[in-house]
Every structure is written in C-alpha cells, then in structure tokens.
Structure 1
Amino acid sequence: MAIEILRIDAFDARAVDAWWDAYAAAERADRGADAVVWSLEESRTELQQESAVVDRRAYLLRYGDRIVGSASLALPVKDNTHVAHLAISVPPQHRRRGIGSEALAFLEGEAAASGRSTAQASTSWPYALGPEGAGSPGREFARAHRYSLALGDVQSRLDLPVDPELLQRIESDVAAAASPYEMRSWVGRIPDDVIEGWTILDATLETEAPTGDLDIEPQRPDVDSIRENEELLDRQGRVSFGTIALAPDGGAAAYSQLVVSTDDGNAYQWGTLVRTADRGRRLGIAVKVANLRMLHREAPQTRAVYTYNAESNAHMLAVNTALGFRPSERLGELQKRLR
C-alpha cells in the first residue's frame, strides 16, 4: 500500500491538528481511553519551537484523501548525535495494511541520511502484560522490524493529595541522615545561583540511572539547553517544581523536578538523581518529599503524579512505593542499529 508521507509546517494549524489526532487515537486505542498523552497545544508548541538542542520533524501519512497516521523524527544536535528518535502512530482502523512499515522505512532512511547509526523509539502497554509486553501492538510491530527491547520501564501513579502524616513520617525518618544538606525549593525557573550544579546532575541522569542496552553517551552540562527547555515549558503553560540538596561544600548533591500540565491537571516526575558521593543519605526521598510538599501548597488542584523508572531500578521503585506510588503501565525503550 503506497502512502504519501508529508512533512508538516508546525504553523499549519489544520495539519498539526490532524497529526495530533492520529497520535492520540493510536495511543488511546492501545493504552486505554484514559491514557496520559501530550495535549494538542503542548505538542503544537513543541513543534513550533526553534531549538538549538534537537531537530524535530513531523509528518502526516496520507492515502488518497484520507489521513491514515502520523509520524515524527527527533535528531539531537548537541549530544548523542548518532541517535535518531522515531515515532509512528497509526489508528486501529488503518492497521494491517503496511502503513506503519512504510513510514518506518522512510524514517530510518531520513535518520541514516542525517548520519545517525542508532534508531530509538518507545511503546507502552498495560502493566498486566508483563515486562516483555507480548501481544501489545507496538511491541509486536517493533519485534517484527528488528527493534530490541533495550530498557524496560514501569510507569507508576501517585494519587493526590498524599496523606500529610505519611510525608511527616518520612521527613522524620530521613532528617538525621539528610541534616548536613541544605534543601532549596522553588517554582518556575531554576535560580541562577544553583543552575550550574543542577545542570551537572541533570547531564548525568541518562547514564547514572539504569540504561540497559541503550546506545547513549554522557551529556555535556549545558545551561543554555536547560534554559531553552524552561522557555518551552513557559510557552506550553506547564509549571516546574524543583528541589536541590546542597552539600556542606556548596555542591549539588541531589535534585528532583516535577512538571505540572495545566492542560490535563497531572504532574509528571522528570529527573531525580543523587550524585554518587552522597548516596546512602536518604537524599532521593528527601528531595521528592520536598517537591510534593510544594506541589500540595502551590498547585493543590493537581490530581496525580506519574513517573517512569527502569524496572531494574529497585531502589527508586522502593522509594516510590514508600510514597504511595502504584504501578499503572509499562513502557519499552526500543533500539535498532541502522549500520
């Protein structure tokens, strides 16, 4: 089945609407009607951003006069420039016709033409299907096209508000171990006096946390990239909540970030990391509790927090369980060598 693959203009409202509709329909068909997905306006704003960090490309898949799917390609331009991130969305009524396969071959060709040697993608499936996701549409499509499961993640959900007595008990438990450290919390932009320490921790997140077989390299700390992302959050109407733990020498020992979507009313756990030299001091749970306290105070309408952790990351999964998170879904990080 020959389809047209049309790169869209991010400022063409009708094209972006159609692109997002295909994405949302495919995600909800596979993951359930209440699956958390990026909103239309959040997606539109990201596509429109002029980024110095990533080259984003979005495509419509058309057959005749019908839109039968959408796709996207993200090419990092600062770090991990050997990697291409691919995504394909085909709603159920258009599947089993080779549309996804055609789109994937096109995206892989574009990635290779841009000098990329590794293609990465992700797919989600119900938690009950287990770590391999056997039988889920995205996982089976990936398997058929020789994408391996490089890292398996667990999505967990924390319903809000958290019992204040639970937070108080945790704070009391960690107080002695964390006492040498200063906790700083804020809403919005990272303060100038801690941005460098935050950036150093954030740059190591992808390689300090479990990465399985993912072909990724350490990032270089880059304040400009962090500020660019903050500008995007502002334009999307998202709100960031950050906490950092400062060691006695003033260095950044741990950090955690929550981002609230004003479109869907949920918070999303972004990075949480404790630097190697400061582990064992209960700082991971301490910065998480500080962020939850701030979230309750500043955005009490928030309904839930969602987080993803590597299934192999037993320590962080235990921290989340102690806070009341419960497994809600699984996500597979997929990978294929292009050459």
Structure 2
Amino acid sequence: MSIYVRPLDPWNDEEFATACAILAEAETHQRPYAVVDEPEPIRAALVRPSASLAQQGWMAWLDGRPAGMALAAWPVRDNLQTCWPVLAVAPALRRRGVGDALLAALTRAVRMAGRSVLQVEVSHPGGEDTWPGIAFAEHHGYRLALRERHSVLGLPVPVERLDAAPADDYSLRSWRDHCPDELVAGYCRLRELFEGEAPTGDLLIGEQQWSAERVRDLESRRKDQGRSAWTTVGVAPDDMVVGFTELTAARTARLAVQNQTLVLPDHRGHRLGLAMKAANLRRLVDDQPSLEHVHTWVSPDNTAMNDVNALLGFEPVELLDVWQLELSDS
C-alpha cells in the first residue's frame, strides 16, 4: 500500500475538482445537514493573496487513487500562533493511513509557518465518542476545547417571526457587502470585542485587530470568492454602534451561514439581538430568494442567543466540537 501526498494544485482543474468532491463526500457522509464550501470560494482563497489570511492545500493518493485532501488557514494580522486545519478522506478509503499522512504534511507546513496551536472542527450527531473525527483527533493528541450546537432555520421564515423592532429609541442600519464609511470605526470596535464576549471554552484565542483596511480586505476577498454578506448594526440613541449581526452566502448556494452576533453588555435588554437578526433575515430573503436554509453555531452556554434563535425558528441538528493541539518544540 502506497500513500503519496503533495501540495494541491488549484490551477489543475481536474485535480482541484477531485479534491473538492472528496471534501464534499467526506463532510456529508452520515451528516444530512453538513455545510460544505463551494469549489470557487476554496480556489479563490488558495490563489488570491489576502492581507489577513493565508491558506494552503494538499492532496493524497492511495495506490495511485485520489483518496484525501487537506486545507490549512492561518491569520497573518493577529493570533499568529494559530492554524485552522481541515482534513477529508474518502469514506471508503478511511483507516488506511491517508489521514495520518495528510496531517503529517500539514503539520510540517504549519511548523514552518511558525504556528504552534492547531484548532480543528469536528461535526457529529452527539452521543458518539467513536465518531471517526473524534477518534482521529484524540489519537493525535488533540483535546476538546469548545462545543457548539449546530442549528438550522428553514426559509422563508413566517413574516410574524420577523416582526421585531428595537426598543427605547435604538435603531438599525443595514448593508450588503460594503460597510458605509461612517460606520466602519464602530463596526471594527465590535469585531475586536466579539471574542471576549462570546463563549470560547478553552480555545487559545488572542485579541483581534480590526481596521478600515481589514474590513475592505475582507469585503474584497468575499467578492473574489463569490460570496455576499448581509450586516445589520444596532445604533444607540447617542449614535454609537452597539451591536451587529452578519449573514453570508455564496451567490450560487442554497444555504446561508449566520456568523457573529454581538450586543454590548451595557446595551442589552432592548431587543437588539432579535431585531438585528430579524432585519438581516428579511434582507437576505429579499435579495436571494433561492436560499433554502440558514445555519448557525452557538455555544449551549449562550442562553440569550439560543433563546433568540428559538424565537426565529432555528432547530438543533448536530454538534460541532473544536479540538485543539499545542505543538511541542521538537
């Protein structure tokens, strides 16, 4: 049995299509609600440099047959110790060393990039410690650092669920793809504060640094990847931006992803969380009516956000674990 691993060539259409097919097959195996990136956003992330994020890919062959692929992304502005790997092995070819070989190649590259903390996501139905991704992570020394609940909302949403407005003279501002210049500073402040407010378990996460340059870089990167983003912010009576929520979707996809939502602690209790998410969902459906579902991931400990999601109609479907490994110096 021979295993061969080398860097993935995103310009080789046949090889790249095979890698994406393996990723989709691996992610959807026994998971009806899996979220898999479209090929073009993956290719764009590999071939177009970003000022905020670097990414690399690998392909594995077993006895000459395409068997697995891997991706690794790492931030280049902050959290400079961190890497986020993705490994996928064709289900019929598992337990033959392909995942081990991919992880070894990826880890060598991560070390060369000066990274020492790997954080990998494993989605599973819950109650199954023998789930392949869990067993693989534990075998390689990873430790469970965070658990979130994956929930899904069917579209369109009944109108009455989206009839929510903020109280006490708070207001909303919304945009698609391009943050208005006058809101950039407030939006950056909220993005920097998010990690400190959201439950992060035992993940090793440092402060993020956001600027107008980083916002515009993110917007440009999404455009290159064929994605759109819908954002709604909450504005206090003194015109301070005090909350935000964001949805993203590939322009050809049938699903959208609910990303971060945050209301600053001093401004909670004014229905901002519900109002922002409802307004954003209305705009999403109006702009891209072909979408069928919205997916979100929230810690079970985040009671307030889970209550808001329940009011909107999100239903739990599986769990997502983040497994973490700190590399030794050797």
TM-score range, shorter chain: over 0.9
Aligned residue number for residue 18 of structure 2: 18
Give TM-score, length-normalised by structure 2.
0.94
Amino acid at match of 1:21: A
Give the 5 Å matches for 1:276-291. 276-291=265-280
Q: Which residue of 1 aligns with 2:158?
A: 163
What CA deviation, in whole Å up to 9, does each residue of 1:110-138 have, x standing for no partner? 22232222111111112xx24xx412111
Q: Partners of 1:6 and 1:62 in 2: how far apart?
A: 9
Query: Per-residue deviation at 1:204?
Result: 2.2
Output the amino acid matched with 1:135. Answer: T
Contact preservation (8 Å) 2:83, 2:115 = yes
**How many angstroms apart in 2 are the aligned matches of 1:59 and 1:190?**
35
Shift of 1:2: 5.0
1:120 aligned partner: 119
Contact 2:234/2:244 (<8 A) preserved: yes
Taking only the aligned residue pairs, the percentage that are identical comes to: 36
2: CA distance, partners of 1:96 / 1:297: 46
**Equivalent position SS for 1:316:** helix
Ranges in structure 2 where 5+ consecutive residues have no aligned partner? none
Structure 2 counterpart of 1:65: 64
Moved more, 209-218 or 285-294: 285-294
TM-score normalized by structure 1?
0.91
Contact 1:79/1:220 (<8 A) preserved:
yes
Give the AA of the match of 1:185.
S
Cα drift, residue 235 of structure 1: 2.5
Aligned to 2:316: 327
Task: Determine if contact 2:62/2:98 at 8 Å carries over to the other structure.
Answer: no
Q: CA RMSD in A?
A: 1.7
SS across alignment from 2:151: strand
Describe the SS at the equivalent of 2:118. Answer: strand
Aligned pairs, number: 328
CA distance in 2, matches of 1:96, 1:48: 31
Post-superposition offset of 1:199: 1.6
Partner residue in 2 for 1:3:
3
Correspondent of 1:150 among 145, 152, 160: 145
The 5 A counterparts of 1:185-334 are 185-334=174-323
Q: CA deviation at 1:308?
A: 0.8
Q: Does the 8 A contact of 1:30 with 1:137 survive in 2? A: no
Code of the aligned partner of 1:111: V
Give the SS at the match of 1:249.
Answer: coil
Counterpart residue identity of residue 105, structure 2 = F
TM-fit CA distance, 1:245:
1.1
Matched residue type, 1:227 = R
Q: Which amino acid aligns with 2:14?
A: R
Specify the alignment match of 1:53 in structure 2: 52
